[in-house]
């Protein structure tokens, strides 16, 4: 599991910079920079989606990741001990990114 700090406060799953989901899915198959990645699990506040996937907000999260050119990517799972998802007041997942992406 990865310790997750997420500052996408406009996401329905965000609570105190933690995520209420049990896992997240980072996108960016072709990514070579952090800005080419995004959090595919983003859902805007008030969308009423995925409520059955919501639990207590925890720091430790399974991170499934399509950004295969990142040095932390192992078989499409993140092996970093700690990552930061950025996006502040994003309105869509394309406005989010994995700030911890490091190109191989
Ligand atoms: S650090 Fe790399 S492998 Fe981990 S979620 Fe971010 S982009 Fe994916």
Q: Is residue 104 part of a domain?
A: no
- Give the closest residue (by CA) to ligand 1 atom 7: 101
Which residues of the chain are modeled with pLDDT < 50?
Answer: none
At residue 44, the pLDDT reads 93
* Alpha carbons within 13 A on the beta-carbon side of 10: 12
At residue 47, the pLDDT reads 80
Q: Is residue 23 part of a domain?
A: yes
What range does the domain containing 27 cover? 2-98
At residue 53, the pLDDT reads 59
Distance between Cα 57 and ligand 1 center (Å)? 20
Q: Report residue 19 as tokens.
A: 């995520």
Count of domains forming the chain? 1
> Ligand 1 pocket test: which of 65, 66, 96 has the largest number of ligand atoms within 8 Å of its C-beta?
65
Cα separation of 104 and 95, whole Å?
23
Q: Is there an atom of ligand 1 within 6 Å of 26 CB?
A: yes
Q: Is residue 9 part of a domain?
A: yes
Q: Is residue 103 part of a domain?
A: no
């Amino acid at each position: 599991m990865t310790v997750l700090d997420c500052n996408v406060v406009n996401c329905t799953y965000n609570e105190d910079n933690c995520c209420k989901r049990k896992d997240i899915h980072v996108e960016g198959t072709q990514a070579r920079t952090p800005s080419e990645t995004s959090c595919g699990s983003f859902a805007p506040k008030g969308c009423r989606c995925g409520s059955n996937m919501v639990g207590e907000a925890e720091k430790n999260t399974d991170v499934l990741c399509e950004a295969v050119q990142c040095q932390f990517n192992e078989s499409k799972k993140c092996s970093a001990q700690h990552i930061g998802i950025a996006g502040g007041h994003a309105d869509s997942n394309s406005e989010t990114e994995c700030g911890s992406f490091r190109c191989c």
